Amino acid sequence: MAGIYIHIPFCKQACHYCDFHFSTSLKYRDEMLQALIKEIDLQKNYLGGENIETIYFGGGTPSLLSATEISLITDAIGHSHSITSNAEITLEANPDDLDQKRVNALRQTPVNRFSIGIQSFFDEDLLWMNRAHRAAEAEASVKRAQDAGFENLTVDLIYGYPLLTDLKWQQNIDKIFALQVPHVSAYSLTIEPRTALAAFIKNKKQPPVNDEQSAEQFVMLMDAMKAKGFEHYEISNFALPGQYSRHNTNYWKGVKYLGIGPSAHSYNGDRRQWSIANNAQYLQALANHTIPAEIEELTQENRLNEYIMTSLRTMWGLDLNKLETIAPGALASLLKGTEQFIAKNWLIRNKDIFILTTTGKLYADHIAAELFF
């Protein structure tokens, strides 16, 4: 089984914190659609004929596409691959795109899961982020999707930014529970170098991010989710039992995936590749029937470090038996490295599985980096 990611590189406007690849000009939208379809055909052998069990439309803002355009892309995937009958097909969507007409139209497509980029239920926060929607639209979009029969929903939230008091953060969390959303992805605000927010902070137009605030709000989130029966199955992701994102879970478990579109990444077990993050150059390459991607052959060390990083982020943890299959003989070194984190109660061992504790989740990246080979 494998997955396919489709990168739609267009947005209505630029969020101040975002460093994903996108353009706010829709000038080449039709050409991009045809290029994506062409790349799907050119890359049809990348996954070695494995069945497709997940398709994920990301971006950018995929909900800018019409239902017809989405169906054209999924039809192209079906022409080049075998899609399982119960495939999870996710569309990232902005609340302002999910009006009644659009939701009803999307119900007629293969899309069966929405990832709604809410970020906050407070207008002042959304304005600060330069989001295109407002709080009322956020709540209404979830209800419209549910009323139309989309039960498999996830929403995105952001915490750790200056405007977000602990009280407002708790109210955002409580709103998710009230809406009965089964999956939440929550991210601590990070300042990426080439973003508007980074420039604002550098020029002292905005205060810097407070790491202590982020940590405290992350703990608040973990406690609240646990109390409501959500499983913290990956550092940034919480779900009711059985409601995990199958697509993203496969990333963390090392399942093969193909990325289509400018800036999209792919992995087939032996190598990684990533497409150029430039719309014009991407379109030109596809017009010449070439794939504008760089390729990296994975070494044993690459595989080992990636497994350490991804496995420790999940509730399934780092399996010593799998580590030994990736790099025979590496076990002793890793066990020695874990001693300091077990002593601090950041890491626990359950038979052959290492799992982060609640406190350890605050230091996940640091722990992984220290265990790298």
- Helix extents (H) in the chain: 29-42, 67-80, 100-106, 123-129, 135-147, 166-179, 196-202, 211-227, 246-252, 279-287, 300-312, 320-326, 331-343, 364-371
Give the chain's count of helices (H) and strands (E): 14, 15
Q: Which of 284, 272, 265, 365 is nearest to 21 (CA)?
A: 265
Residue 76 identity (one-letter amino acid) = A
Q: Greatest CA span in the chain, whole angstroms?
A: 59
CB 352 within 8 A of CB 338: no
All domains in the chain, ordered by first residue: 2-252 (3.20.20.70), 300-371 (1.10.10.920)
Dihedral over Cα of 339, 343, 349, 351: its sign: positive
Residue 23 vs residues 10, 149, 192: alpha-carbon distances, Å: 5, 32, 17
- Give pLDDT tens digits along the chain (373 positions): 999 999 999 998 888 888 888 888 888 999 999 999 999 999 999 999 999 999 999 999 999 999 999 999 999 999 999 999 999 999 999 999 999 999 999 999 999 999 999 999 999 999 999 999 999 999 999 999 999 999 999 999 999 999 999 999 999 999 999 999 999 999 999 888 888 888 888 888 888 889 999 999 999 999 999 999 999 999 999 999 999 999 999 999 999 999 999 999 999 988 999 999 999 999 999 999 999 999 999 999 999 999 999 999 999 999 999 999 999 988 999 999 999 999 999 999 999 999 999 999 999 999 999 999 9
Full DSSP string of 112-126: -EEEEEEE-S-HHHH
**pLDDT, position 26:** 83
CA 234 – CA 238 distance, rounded (Å): 7
CA 248 – CA 293 distance, rounded (Å): 22
Quick one: CA torsion of 23, 98, 80, 242, rounded to 10 degrees?
Answer: 120
CA 216 – CA 333 distance, rounded (Å): 33
Full DSSP string of 153-179: EEEEEEE--TT--HHHHHHHHHHHHHH
Rounded to two decimals, the pTM is 0.95
